[in-house]
Chain A
Amino acid sequence: MHIPDNFLDTKTWATAAVVSTAAIGGAVRSIRHKSEEEMARAIPMMGAMGAFVFAAMMINFPVPGGTSGHLVGAALLAITLGLAPSIVVLSVVVILQALLFQDGGLVVMGANVFNMAVIAPLAGAGVYYTLRRVFPRHGSWAELASAWFSVMAAAAAAAVELAVSGTVPWIVVLPAMLGWHALIGVGEAAITLSALRLINRAGILPQANGTAPTGAGKRVEALAMVPAGLPADREEVDRIA
């Protein structure tokens, strides 16, 4: 999902850079306006959660059809830390990936920040909080949907940038990007749910949504834990399998 240099034209990367800078500024302002209590929860975890998401992004998993994907972590961070801290954390991760590892271009860095550190957390947080409000008893579904939509939103943003730049026509790039990322998003959802459960189980982040999953959510959770090799509820898995 990291766009290299020369894929985007000047007006596109420049616009993305301006919007990303404004979004980071807005996120910082929003964090400063949070209550003392909220800040005391989220701020001390930003460093460690950022390091975790960076590491998880290195683990490409194969998806059917000869492609791979990796975690973006936008939903994971938005759910555990909140929207504004997740924007700041992912921006730092994306910027360091370009500067230290040549992952994502230097000129188009603003576009990569926009896709993965602004749009993805916005979509993830939007879907999560909307679903939690509408279906308060189905937290696991909200987490899964949040992760999947965050990846789709980032992929759509990247496709739009490529099309607007004239690199490749809309009609081919949008379905291609969304098609592959619909599969990659399933991996994102499984890893996000596993990581949230691991975090909850260890009691590391008390603010992570701690409601016990019920019904279908619990079954999905049990299955999602298996590929990640995490201690799933054995009985639940046996019952489904």
Chain B
Amino acid sequence: MPKRPWLWILVITAVVVLLAPLASRLPDGLQRVASDLGFEGRATTAPAQERAPMPGYSIPLLSSHAGLSKVLAGLAGALAVFLALKGVEALLRARDHGSRQGFRRP
């Protein structure tokens, strides 16, 4: 087993993100159903969400380079998920140690 298994998964993740420009642009299952059944037009975007930094997995400043924009947005997103979950991991560990000390069996 590699010393830092999560590092290998991050490498695989980066490779997967590089494939993002090749992703199908067809509507996904729900979008297709919404369009077939005629409720697609109901969709709205909350005002707070209008300020999302990378709408539709793209970086607004790089709108002329669609592929690059998507890859960079994907890398940023993967990093954000990774860091957020590292925070969660730390919280889970910290709380666990606390509770274990509190309820240590004799």
Contacts and interface: CB of A to CB of B under 8 A. Distances in A.
Interface of A: 1-7, 28, 31-32, 39, 43-52, 54-56, 58-62, 66-70, 88-89, 92-93, 96-103, 105-107, 155, 158, 162, 167-168, 172-173, 176-177, 180-181, 184, 198-199, 202-206
Nearest to A85: B92
Given A62-B26, A98-B49, A102-B45, A52 B16 contact: yes
A60 B26 contact: yes
A96 B99 CA distance: 29
Q: Which of A2, A59, A155, A162 has the most CB of B within 10 A?
A: A59
9 contacts: A32-B96, A32-B99, A43-B93, A47-B86, A59-B19, A173-B37, A176-B33, A180-B29, A198-B12
A207 to B, nearest CB: 11
B5 A205 contact: yes
Nearest to A31: B92
Contact of B30 (A32, A158, A172, A202): A158
A167 to B, nearest CB: 5
Contacts of A3: 30
Nearest to A3: B30
A100 B99 CA distance: 34
Interface residues of B, number: 64
B26 A58 contact: no
Contacts of A61: 23-24
Contacts, number: 210
Pairs of residues from A and B, 3 with the lowest C-beta to C-beta distance, nearest first:
A48-B6, A4-B43, A48-B9
B81 A96 contact: yes
A66 to B, nearest CB: 6
A225 to B, nearest CB: 15
B56 A51 contact: no
B106 interface: no
Given A43-B89, A54-B78, A55-B17, A101 B9 contact: no
